[in-house]
Amino acid sequence: MDLIIEKSWKKKLFNEFNKPYFHALSSFLNLEYKNLQIFPDKSLIFNAFNLCSFDNVKVVILGQDPYHNKNQADGLSFSVPVGEKIPPSLRNIFKEIQNDLGVISPKSGNLQIWAEQGVLLLNSILTVQNGKPASHQFKGWEIFTDKVIELLSNDKKNLVFMLWGNYARDKGLKINRKNHLLIESSHPSPFSAKKSFLGSKQFSRCNNYLELHKKGVINW
C-alpha cells in the first residue's frame, strides 16, 4: 500500500507503519483493492491527514468506517463529495449547527473546508468493501487509529474531541481529560440523534473552548 500521507503525520507515525500488524494490513488491502471494489479510492485513504496536518489539529470528530456505497466515501468521516446526496447523519449535524450557531445548512456534504481549518475527520476504520459495512473491521485499522488518538492526546493540549455514540466514546476512553475537552453525545443518526445530539449546542461549546485557549474558532 502506498503511504500517501502528509509529512508531519508520516514522521509521527513512522514506527507504526513499520509494525507487523500494519504490514499485514497493507498486504490485506493490496489484495482487496486488486480483487474487489473498495472505498475510498486508494489516493483518499489518508485524506483526513493530508488535509489537516498534525500541527494544525484543533478538533477531532470520530466516525466508525467509510460510507460503503459508490461515490460517497472521500476519506473524511461523515463527509461526501460535492454533488452527492447528504446522508441522514450529516443532515442532523448541519441541523444542530444551524440551531446552535444560526449557520444555514450548506447544499453540499463535502467537509473539506472543516478539515482545512483544523478539524481531523477521523474514521476508526479507513477502508470498506462496496456494500458491506464494517467489512474491514479487526484488520488493523483500529490499532492504527488508536495510536493516532494517543499521539494527539499526549503530544498536544486543548484539543476538542467530539465523540458521538458509544463506539466513539469507547474509542476515546484513554484521552487525557485534564488536557482536552471531550464532548460526548448520542450519534447524529436519525435513530439516536434526539437522545442527546440535537440540542446539545456542542459546536458553540467547541468554539468557546478554542477561543478561551486562543486557538481560533472553526467556521462551521
Burial 69-86 (b: 16+ CB within 10 A, else e): beebbbbbbbbbbeebeb
The contacts of residue 121 (CB under 8 Å, 6+ apart) are 48, 52, 61, 63, 76, 77, 78, 79, 111, 114, 115
Cell of 212: 478561551
Is 74 a known active-site residue? no
**Active site residue: 2, 41, 65, 74, which one?**
65
Q: Which residue has the cell 458491506?
A: 132
Closest C-alpha among 100, 106, 112, 93 to residue 50: 112
The contacts of residue 175 (CB under 8 Å, 6+ apart) are 149, 153, 161, 182
Closest C-alpha among 180, 192, 77 to residue 128: 77
Residues classed as catalytic: 65
